[in-house]
Every structure is written in C-alpha cells, then in structure tokens.
Amino acid sequence: MSKKLINDPDNLISELIAGMLSAHPKHLTTQGVTGRAIVARNGPREGKVGIVIGGGSGHEPAFAGYVGQGLADAAPLGSIFASPSPAQIVDAGLAANGVAGVLFLFGNYTGDVMNFAMAEEEMAKHGVTARSFVTTDDVASAPPDQIDERRGIAGNFFVFKVAGAAADQNASLQEVEEAARRANAATRTMGVALSACSMPQTGKANFEIPDGEMEIGMGIHGEPGIARIPAESADAVTDRLMTPIHSELGLMVGDKVAVLVNGLGSTTLLELYLLHRRVAEMLSDRRVEIHNSWVGEYCTSLEMGGASVSLMKLDDDLQAWLDHPCDTPALQIGAPRDPLIASAPNIPNPRSQEANSPTNL
C-alpha cells in the first residue's frame, strides 16, 4: 500500500482543481457545468484560435499547468490516467472559443481519441469548429513505419508550446494545426522507468519493477516498454535514450535542438541534471547546438521513478514559436505583457473589430 497525501479519493480531481485555482488565482479560473475545465484568465480572445490541451490527471503539471497567456487557453481534467469526457472537453472548448476555431491537442491514446472526437461533434452543434491534433513523440511505443500509432508523452510540451505561440500570433486554425504538425514531426521522446506508480484509489503498484532493474521505453501510465534490463548508470541510460532519438531526428553538424529532461514523479532533480549533462555532452560531440533546455517535472506519472529525454529539432519558425512569450503556472517565457499590445502591429485589434469601430484599424 503506497502512502499518499490525499483526502477522499472521490474528491481527488475537484480538490486538485481547487488547489490549482488557489495557488494561481491570477492565471486560472474554471468555466462550465462540469467544473473540470481550467481556463486561462488572460488567454482566450476574439479572433484567436482557442488552444485546448488535455488528458487524464496524474501528469501534473500537465496539462492544466500550461494554461495561460501565450500557451493553452483551457484544459479539461480527466480522472487519473483517464481521458476527460466529451462534456468536460466541450466546457474547455467553449471557454477557449474566440470565433476563430478551436484546436484540441492531446496524446495519442484510444480513450482520448474517442472522447475528443465526440467533443468535436458536440462543438459543431454549438456552431464552433473544433479540430483534433494528436501528439506521437514516444519513440518506444511503435516502430518508425507505424509512427502514427505512437503515444504522446513528455514531448507534447514542445507541441503545445508551438501551437500556443502560433495561435497567440493570430495564425488561422489551419496554420496552427500545421505548426503543431511540424513541432510533432520534429520531436522525439524516450523514457526509462525505475519504479512503479500507484493509483490513489487502490494504493497498489500499477506494475512491478524488481530492485536492480529498469524498464526502457515505459509509457507515462506505466504501459510496459520495450526492454526490461539490469539498472545502469546515468550515462549508460542516457545513451540508450538518446540513440534512437538522435538517429530518428537525423541530427547533423550545425543543427539546433531544444532539450527537455523530464522527471516522472519521484526522480530527483540531481539525477535529471546528470542526464542532461550527458545529453549535452553527446550533442556537443556531434556539434549540435542546444538552443534551450528544460530540466524538471513537466509531465509526470504520479510517483513513478524514472525520466524521459525529449528533443525537438529546430528550424527558424519552431525556434521563434518556442521563444514566444508565455505566462502559465508551469512555464513562463519572456516578460508578461498585455495581449492587446503584444498583437502584431499590422493585425487589426480583434476587440475593436468586435466593437465595430473602424477608427481603430
């Protein structure tokens, strides 16, 4: 039986939401009848494509931690490791709607695909165009010739960031989708699990990893990976994770990447920095430049032990979208700003369009 700091498991998600709101009152609010949609206070606006990211709970700070100005407008919270329901997704979608369409972004899991598809149909009944984009960055979950079958894991961080930035720059729904597609195509992740997580309701380990062993390629819900091997050093594990990522991205001398070393829940920052040290060493040997790095917990798996390494191979656009300012509980880039001032000067202010006052154009 695992020990957890929880109250009644039936209230777990509502208490998680209450805690996120009490901790981040300037960033977050909720909207809709289900009470499961966390919405950016300063995110959705007329004329901007609404960005909705989501999935099950248990991955904090994903997904609601990335709700805020310049990134996602709303996130529906599912139960632990379970997709949100269509009603919960629709609450988020309607909150994010700025009459330019809504893009749902989520990892490639059967449940999420079904629920978001039903939510798309429901959004259409409300007169809102919603489209779905699934992330597929997990190298270990399917071979390269079945790339569309892959799961979405920590690398969805990069895809969400890029889509959020493109939308914040007033790109159209089709353009935001294309930006997400480019980010997803340029992103690869591989993880390693050292110890199991346990469901709060049962307290029982989801799987067993004996002492002295690790599982390469395990999913963020404890889905079995590709190999169970004796535990190895940080450098040896990093080499195992980096090799397929490096080869699939086809990194060449002079390429630039963004790096995410992500802790799965109970692995120390100290260990994550050791992994990053080796990642940086390998990239430096190949004369690949690191544009930016994030090291910490960005997409967890309850209290699972282990880590993942994600790389996004950058081009000028992806780099600019990555650098675009955002202000969310889990990620801040650049200085917070007024969204109206931040709009590109040659783009009409959407609020004044709404007010129908041509003098402002």
Partner 1 sequence: MSVTPRTELVATGPITPDVFRQMMAASAAAIFAARNWLCELDGAIGDGDHGITMEIGWKAALAALDHAPETATISELSEAIAAAFLDAVGASAGPLYATGFQRAGAAVSDRLNLDSAAMVAWLHGMCHGIKDRGGAASGDKTMLDAWLPAIDAATSAAAQDATVKTCLAAAAEAASNGARGTTQMQSNRGRSKKLGARSIGHQDPGAASTAILLAAWSEAVRDL
Catalytic (active site) residue 24: no
Integer angstrom CA distances of residue 139 from 191, 221, 234, 244, 326: 9, 15, 19, 7, 28
Please tell me whether residue 244 binds partner 1 under the rule CB under 8 A: no
Of 132, 136, 141, 310, the residue at the interface with partner 1 (CB under 8 A) is: 141
Of 70, 86, 155, 350, the residue at the interface with partner 1 (CB under 8 A) is: 86
CA-to-CA distance for 103 and 95, rounded, in angstroms? Answer: 12
Q: Is the dihedral of CA 214, 216, 219, 225 positive or negative?
A: negative
Tell which positions 2-41 bind partner 1, by CB under 8 A: 34
- In the complex, what is the shortest distance from the CB of residue 137 to partner 1, in angstroms, rounded to a whole number? 14
- In the complex, what is the shortest distance from the CB of residue 220 to partner 1, in angstroms, rounded to a whole number? 9
Q: Which of 223/327 has CB closer to partner 1?
A: 223
Catalytic (active site) residue 324: no
- In the complex, what is the shortest distance from the CB of residue 15 to partner 1, in angstroms, rounded to a whole number? 16
Please tell me whether residue 280 binds partner 1 under the rule CB under 8 A: no
CA-to-CA distance for 232 and 235, rounded, in angstroms? Answer: 8
Q: Are 192 and 232 in contact (CB under 8 A)?
A: no
Choose, from 24, 27, 126, 221, the residue flagged as catalytic: 221
Binding mask 88-127 for partner 1 (x = CB under 8 A): x--------------------xxx--xx--x---------
Please tell me whether residue 80 binds partner 1 under the rule CB under 8 A: yes
Please tell me whether residue 205 binds partner 1 under the rule CB under 8 A: yes
Please tell me whether residue 303 binds partner 1 under the rule CB under 8 A: no
Number of residues that bind partner 1 (CB under 8 A): 35
Of 21, 147, 199, 342, the residue at the interface with partner 1 (CB under 8 A) is: 199
Amino acid 189 reads T
Q: Are 144 and 247 in contact (CB under 8 A)?
A: no
Q: Quickly list H helices, 208-311.
A: 234-249, 269-285
CA-to-CA distance for 268 and 340, rounded, in angstroms? Answer: 40
- In the complex, what is the shortest distance from the CB of residue 76 to partner 1, in angstroms, rounded to a whole number? 9
Single out the segment in contact with partner 1 by CB under 8 A; choices: 85-93, 123-131, 242-250, 334-342.
85-93
Choose, from 27, 59, 276, 324, the residue flagged as catalytic: 59
Please tell me whether residue 306 binds partner 1 under the rule CB under 8 A: no
CA-to-CA distance for 3 and 52, rounded, in angstroms? Answer: 33
First to last CA, the chain: 63
Per the listing, tokens 């490639």 go with 108
Q: Which of 206/352 has CB closer to partner 1?
A: 206
Of 63, 81, 158, 321, the residue at the interface with partner 1 (CB under 8 A) is: 81
Please tell me whether residue 201 binds partner 1 under the rule CB under 8 A: yes
Q: Are 163 and 183 in contact (CB under 8 A)?
A: yes
Cα angle for residues 3, 9, 12 (degrees, 5° grid): 105
CA-to-CA distance for 328 and 149, rounded, in angstroms? Answer: 30
- In the complex, what is the shortest distance from the CB of residue 95 to partner 1, in angstroms, rounded to a whole number? 17
Of 21, 42, 47, 142, the residue at the interface with partner 1 (CB under 8 A) is: 142
Partnered with residue 199 across adjacent β-strands are: none
Q: Are 39 and 45 in contact (CB under 8 A)?
A: no
Single out the segment in contact with partner 1 by CB under 8 A; choices: 74-82, 275-283, 285-293, 333-341.
74-82
Please tell me whether residue 191 binds partner 1 under the rule CB under 8 A: no
Instruction: Report residue 95 as tokens.
Output: 């909150």
CA-to-CA distance for 105 and 179, rounded, in angstroms? Answer: 12
Q: Are 151 and 120 in contact (CB under 8 A)?
A: no
Torsion of CA 102, 159, 216, 292, to 10 degrees: -150
Q: Which of 32/350 has CB closer to partner 1?
A: 32
Q: Which residues are catalytic?
A: 59, 221
Q: What are the residues binding partner 1 (CB under 8 A)?
A: 34, 56, 78-88, 109-111, 114-115, 118, 141-142, 149, 151, 199, 201-202, 204-207, 219, 221-224
